[in-house]
């Protein structure tokens, strides 16, 4: 069985990190996608337009010019509106990302400079972003309540729906993207308020494939630990239904987040993130196939959300074949560090069977 895509896939949410890690992981995305939204929670963060340009040039030096990084600034409590606008007008960065501030400091990877979500609507950059049409990408979780008390992790996204509703009311034309949706509550919000130009969302492969039982099956599974945390089956199914319904405001953002194994596989604590970049197109295809909705896959991968970002979709011919494969190696980084890609296991019998492979790609330049 084959399926053909008419548009080149676009990655709406990916983590490339810096240095040797970027070198190790960026080619996996560039092989499947013509461009991608590059998250700014690097160490150090992308705080100025000049940081974004330097990072963009570094990424292109690895991927080559056939991959176009979409650069994003890290919005902190002290980011000035003038700086946001200057970078946007000069084409140095194209969107801002906001991370939630947490009680103990750890909202998600490198989120220590995030913002208290309950105060986001008062950030002085928002009116200007609305005016100039610059997208705000939101990690939609409320980590601390109004009394400063830590919230329950499984409720954090649900609590952020009220924040999104309030933003929608106060800034009617602000371009908002709710990243990596996981909960039934956010899925319902998107069904009601989703709009291809002003209110979009992304969804990861792991949140379409797994629920929290998988995260805890046989003990805690560090390689499925990501932020937001996996929810109930009911939530996973709500996102599977919304994603494969053809809704034009839901797009592919893997949130592929590489961490070296020593940060994931350890006795105490575990870095949050799942590395899925190597199998982005096969995994989304598998979900759409399981849901008998392959007719909507092309738009999901290569069209939805692009006009929101101010981009034109790119025509291509990509032939996918239903032919199972497994990932048979770890990804070497440098100095002995390795990333464990989704689906790999030392025991070949334990490896995940990816159902679809990419047969050929030809893309208009
Ligand atoms: O699981 C995650 N990993 N969620 C995020 O929000 C950040 C990401 C990372 O950078 O590791
Ligand atoms: Zn992310």
pLDDT in tens, 253-301: 999 999 999 999 998 889 999 999 999 999 999 999 999 999 999 999 9
Residue 39 CA, closest ligand 1 atom number? 10
Strand order across the beta sheet in which 199-203 lies: 10-14, 35-38, 68-74, 95-98, 136-138, 176-178, 199-203, 250-252
Tens of pLDDT, residues 241-256:
999 999 999 999 999 9
CA–CA dist 196, 219 (Å, integer): 40
Asked if 327 contacts 342 with a C-beta cutoff of 8 angstroms, the reply is yes
Tens of pLDDT, residues 310-323:
999 999 999 999 99
- What is the CATH classification number for the domain harbouring 234? 3.20.20.140
Tokens of 128: 């200007």
Buried/exposed 114-132: b ≥16 CB within 10 Å, e otherwise: bbbbbebeebebbebbbee
Tens of pLDDT, residues 125-154:
999 999 999 999 999 999 999 999 999 999
Instruction: State the distance from the centre of ligand 2 to the C-alpha of 285, rounded, in angstroms.
Output: 21
Backbone angles phi, psi at 309, to 5 degrees: -85, -5
Instruction: Report DSSP state, residue 332.
Output: E
Length of the chain: 365
Task: Check if 156 has its Cβ closer than 6 Å to any atom of ligand 1.
Answer: no
| pTM of the full structure | 0.98
Write the residue with the smallest CA distance to atom 10 of ligand 1: 109
Note down the domain range covering 324: 2-363
Report the DSSP beta bridge partners of residue 338.
332
Task: Check if 275 has its Cβ closer than 6 Å to any atom of ligand 1.
Answer: no
Task: Check if 243 has its Cβ closer than 6 Å to any atom of ligand 1.
Answer: no
How many domains does the chain fold into? 1
Tokens of 234: 């009911």
Asked if 338 contacts 330 with a C-beta cutoff of 8 angstroms, the reply is yes
Catalytic pick among 255, 289, 298, 337? 255
Annotation marks residue 255 as catalytic: yes
Average pLDDT of the segment spanning 216-232: 97
Task: Check if 15 has its Cβ closer than 6 Å to any atom of ligand 1.
Answer: yes
CA–CA dist 321, 329 (Å, integer): 22
């Amino acid at each position: 069985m084959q399926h053909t895509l008419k548009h080149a896939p676009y990655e709406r949410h990916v983590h490339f990190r810096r240095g040797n890690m970027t070198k190790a992981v960026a080619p996996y995305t560039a092989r499947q996608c013509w461009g991608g939204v590059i998250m700014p929670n690097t160490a150090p963060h992308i705080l100025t337009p000049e940081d974004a340009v330097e990072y963009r040039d570094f990424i292109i030096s690895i991927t080559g010019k056939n991959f176009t990084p979409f650069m994003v600034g890290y919005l902190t409590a002290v980011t000035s509106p003038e700086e946001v606008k200057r970078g946007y007008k000069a084409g140095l960065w194209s969107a801002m990302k906001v991370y939630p501030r947490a009680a103990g400091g750890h909202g998600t990877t490198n989120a220590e400079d995030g913002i208290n979500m309950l105060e986001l609507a008062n950030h002085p950059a928002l009116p200007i972003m609305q005016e100039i049409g610059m997208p705000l990408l939101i990690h939609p979780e409320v980590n601390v309540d109004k009394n400063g008390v830590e919230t329950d992790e499984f409720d954090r996204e649900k609590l952020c729906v009220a924040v999104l509703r309030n933003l929608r009311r106060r800034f009617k034309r602000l371009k908002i993207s709710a990243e990596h949706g996981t909960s039934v509550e956010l899925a319902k919000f998107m069904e009601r308020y989703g709009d291809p130009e002003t209110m979009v969302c992304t969804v990861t492969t792991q949140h379409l494939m797994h629920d929290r039982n998988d995260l805890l099956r046989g003990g805690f599974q560090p390689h499925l630990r990501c932020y937001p945390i996996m929810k109930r089956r009911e939530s996973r199914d709500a996102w599977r239904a919304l994603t494969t319904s053809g809704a034009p405001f839901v797009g592919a953002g893997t949130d592929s987040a590489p961490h070296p194994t020593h940060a994931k596989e350890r006795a105490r604590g575990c870095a949050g993130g799942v590395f899925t970049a190597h199998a982005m197109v096969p995994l989304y295809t598998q979900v759409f196939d399981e849901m008998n909705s392959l007719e909507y896959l092309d738009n999901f991968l290569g069209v939805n959300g692009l006009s929101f970002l101010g981009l034109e979709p790119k025509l291509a011919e990509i032939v996918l074949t239903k032919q199972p494969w497994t990932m048979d190696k770890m990804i070497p980084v440098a100095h002995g560090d390795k990333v464990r890609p989704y689906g790999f296991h030392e025991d070949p019998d334990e490896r995940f069977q990816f159902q679809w492979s990419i047969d050929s790609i030809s893309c208009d330049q």
